[in-house]
């Protein structure tokens, strides 16, 4: 059994910073679960273009509010604590954080932990601080 606490990940290579978000990787490929699971903080006021060409991702918002825009359909979905969205079609999308958001993210196939540096399909566009 694997038991981890968020505080144990902080400051290790399981805590990965990008311009618009910080991802704490609870479970990665080498944990052998078949998926990865992250506790991700999205910075307030940011807009991130995301396209996971090779992964499915489910995102459960547990704090904050924002929106997701599906690029192809143009549909905009408000996201708040208690909302999940699942990218079951490799959708290109914009994630906009109106406030700081905290997301529980699950990836299939699992991330190995290195993706943030050569992350195909994740292109931060704007990283500006905003008052909450």
Which listed residue (41, 79, 95, 106) binds ligand 9YT by CB under 6 A?
95
CB of 125 to ligand 9YT, least distance (A): 13
Query: Could you tell me the smallest distance in angstroms from the CB atom of residue 57 to ligand 9YT?
Result: 6
Distance of CA 39 to the CA centre of its chain: 8
- Position among 15, 29, 31, 40 found at the interface with ligand 9YT (CB under 6 A): 40
Residues 6+ positions from 60 with CB-CB distance below 8 Å: 83, 84, 103, 104, 105
Structure tokens at 86: 């699942």
Work out whether 59 is an interface residue with ligand 9YT (CB under 6 A).
yes
Gap between the Cα atoms of 86 and 129, Å rounded? 27
Eight-state DSSP code of residue 91? -
Residues touching ligand 9YT: how many (CB under 6 A)?
10
Residues near ligand 9YT (CB under 6 A) are 21, 23, 38, 40, 50, 57, 59, 95, 103, 105
């Amino acid at each position: 059994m694997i038991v981890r606490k968020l505080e144990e990940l902080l400051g290790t290579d399981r805590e990965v910073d990008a311009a618009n978000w910080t991802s704490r990787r609870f479970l990665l490929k080498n944990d052998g679960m078949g998926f990865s699971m992250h506790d991700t903080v999205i910075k307030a006021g940011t807009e991130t273009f995301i396209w996971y060409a090779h992964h499915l991702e489910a995102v459960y918002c547990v704090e904050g509010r924002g929106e997701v825009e599906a690029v192809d359909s143009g549909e905009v979905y408000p996201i708040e604590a208690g909302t999940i969205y699942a990218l079951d079609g490799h959708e290109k999308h914009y994630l906009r954080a109106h406030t700081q958001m905290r997301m529980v993210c699950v990836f299939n196939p699992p991330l190995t932990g290195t993706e943030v540096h050569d992350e195909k399909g994740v292109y931060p566009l704007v990283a500006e601080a905003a008052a909450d």
